[in-house]
Structure 1
């Protein structure tokens, strides 16, 4: 089978566990041919190469434009016609021009949204999307609605962008939701329920476990609490910061390590830490290698994810693969991955006191820690096994291909 994957950052050498790369390499191992299209960015060390092969995946990077997207058309014409196309992400600029071409060529299209509340038109604030109800009437899925909006004198540029982001979703022949949350939101937006399949993301846990055991490069006083993620409001680093004083009262030597590939937001975090008197307990490590990240996850006493929303939550699976007990927010999609008290502890979002209490509970109870670690290993084995899930993905591709052949062409609209 020839498979084309359309993402944003897509397949890179740096981020081993990103969905597009994990998916593509599994498909290659099964004997399928995969071309992954993503954004080209000469300023980024991860995205500067226009063409390369990674793990058997042919990677093609193009300028991220809705229109005219000549570079995407040129690259797609150079490669073999795909049997199926898999589009990903709610803000994927390439999805619009790719869908136009794929429709002309009658190529079946499968769409994975990867977090509905990352959509800036569906929610008021992508950094805190659960604070207000979603606006299901805002996304523009059809040309008719776009023309109506423009006729009423509403903003041209914003409405065109709205249409370009959402029209490809409505044109999908099959939706491969990565969570029950995503499936529900697709249904609420009017997507046909009979065309939605749920297959969660996964990681290559065995590759993580196979990495050599070694201590982190930096020494930390114990206990060690680890945070990995961008320093944005959505990821909740500020909530963790407010929880630190409560932990330090019980464990004065505790260390809080922060790993983030983007330092934006660190000055504000540091200033607040100084005001709280906890700066000495914070260790900002910036971006680290995959090997160092695994070493930190193996060494930490608790991995914490106090997010206000997650499109999925792959770091949770990485923490499980490394044997780290987890404390995280009770939000979509985290509460699908974590079962409270079984493979992690869930706390209310935006609640530093509850977060501190949960951290203290895990740190002070070795029996609980062992149970959470064992539950994480079981969850990876039973619910996030890549060998089983890739078969479900391939079955979805085959279903989309068969449906399009039966209908005599992919969805019109």
Structure 2
């Protein structure tokens, strides 16, 4: 089959485990012809989205300007691409979807969509940083032209925002099959009225060839090494990590807390918080590092705390398991579909810094427990997150929707 993946940044030489790349890579390995349309963002070189056209892992990647409509850049590319057998859209705020879905529907190309975190949608939740603290608002989503006109007549000063709301959500009604990455995502989409188009839950996976491959020497740090990997946002709980540092440092004065993030804007706040708690000398801010350097850091780490107030999936959890480091995360939807407490990781209550501190100390001091969790993580990767098995489930969905189209014709 010829498959077109339409995502955000997701196929970049800088990031090995972004879902568009691992999906495309696995499809190429099974013999499929894979194209990808992603955002062109030269203003953010650290993301690696500068080349307008390139080939990565056998995926032919074309980058276009991230605009809703009119997106002449996108339309020009679509005109020159070979007609795909199926399109796979990814992410809930994909601004390329409006033009791409209209184009593909006119050419009778079936469409699948993996939403990758419904509560990233600012119209659906009050606060994307803490979406579980208030109920979602499905009534805010605008999916039909009639609802758009009605909303604009009622709130004309918000016409631009209503149009954007409509352009982001109307394409959902044209999808042939949703392929959710979690049960939570499937439940949200079902509650939005898309249950009849729901395909199987297919979780994300890693580039295991890379994760099992070579890595450079890790940075020279005093143990225990405790990394933070993710954006410096309230959603990712960097504040909780800082709050745990004094507790850990009292027991382990040489502990190294290592922050890896491409979100440099919050560095000053991070350092200020550490200084206020008297632990600034234990904080090592690496910022943006290569995937190889991140792998080396994970392999050298003693524990990976990954508390979160919301995750669309939580790939760093799998990366920690693959690197052989015990993982701690929060007992919230999606995460608790990946981590089985006491088997392949630890789950702590939501927003509980004291519980996080206790869990870190427990895993630093209980060798047998650490080894059991590490072994459980390896089993989970082999049994539940094996790329070759998961991609076959996605291909089966493609074949199903393509077959339905051919039957109608």
Gapped regions of structure 1 (runs ≥ 5): 409-413
The 8 Å contact of residues 176 and 197 in structure 2, kept in 1 or not, is answered as: no
Quote the residue 1:105 is aligned against: 107
Residues 7-406 of structure 1: pairs in structure 2 closer than 5 A = 7-45=7-45, 46-154=48-156, 155-212=158-215, 214-216=216-218, 218-406=219-407
Q: What is the distance in 1 between the residues matched to 2:99 and 2:369?
A: 51
Tell me the CA shift for residue 404 of structure 1.
2.7
Question: What SS class does the counterpart of residue 402 from structure 1 fall into?
Answer: helix
Distance 2:81 2:303 in 1: 46
Measured on the aligned residues, the alpha-carbon RMSD in Å equals: 1.2
Report the Cα offset of residue 196 of structure 1.
Answer: 3.0
Count of aligned positions: 406
Residue aligned with 1:232, SS:
coil
Tell me the CA shift for residue 192 of structure 1: 2.4
Give yes or no for contact 1:34–1:57 (8 Å, CA) kept in 2.
yes
**Structure with the larger helix share:** 2
TM-score relative to the length of structure 2: 0.97
Residues 226 and 255 of structure 2 are in contact (CA less than 8 Å); yes or no, is this contact kept in structure 1?
Answer: yes
Normalising by structure 1, report the TM-score.
0.96
Q: Distance in 2 between matches of 1:259 and 1:192?
A: 38
Cα distance in 2 between the residues matched to 1:300 and 1:42: 33
Deviation at 1:194, TM superposition (A): 4.9
Once the two structures are TM-superposed, the CA of residue 407 in structure 1 deviates from its matched residue by 4.0
CA distance in 2, matches of 1:237, 1:353: 14
Structure 2 CA distance for aligned equivalents of residues 195 and 278 of structure 1:
48
**Structure 1 residues 215, 48: CA separation in 2 closer, same or farther (over 3 Å shift)?**
closer
Instruction: Give 1:411's aligned residue.
Output: none
Partner of 2:179, secondary structure, is: strand
Unaligned runs of 5+ in 2: none
Q: Relative to 1, partners in 2 of residues 1:125 and 1:377: Cα closer, same or farther, differing over 3 Å?
A: same
CA displacement, residues 174-198 of structure 1 (integer Å, 9 cap, x when unaligned)? 0000000100000111112453321
